């Protein structure tokens, strides 16, 4: 029997995430990650990314500097 495209070779057995022996596609893995993130956020484990905090602080500092220079 020829290799089926949805089943990994014996040598590649651990190379791909599997679900009941079938390879899980990229889109399904992406959906699983999104669902897991939504569940974490609903449990209150949401954190603001650092770059968002940096942008907020920079905007506040820029606003204060603008107020001081314009006055």
DSSP 8-state symbol, 10: S
CB count within 10 Å of CB 24 equals: 15
pLDDT in tens, 9-49: 555 555 555 656 566 688 888 899 999 989 988 898 878 88
Residues 7, 44: Cα–Cα separation, whole Å: 38
Stronger pLDDT, 4 or 54, i.e. the higher one: 54
- Residue 7's contacts (CB-CB under 8 Å, 6 or more residues apart) are 21, 22, 23
């Amino acid at each position: 029997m020829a290799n089926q495209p949805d089943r990994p070779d014996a040598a590649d057995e651990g190379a791909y995430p599997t679900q009941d022996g079938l390879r899980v596609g990229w889109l399904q893995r992406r959906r699983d990650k999104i669902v897991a993130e939504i569940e974490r956020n609903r449990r209150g484990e949401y954190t603001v990314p650092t770059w968002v905090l940096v942008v907020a602080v920079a905007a506040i500092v820029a606003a204060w500097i603008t107020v001081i220079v314009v006055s």
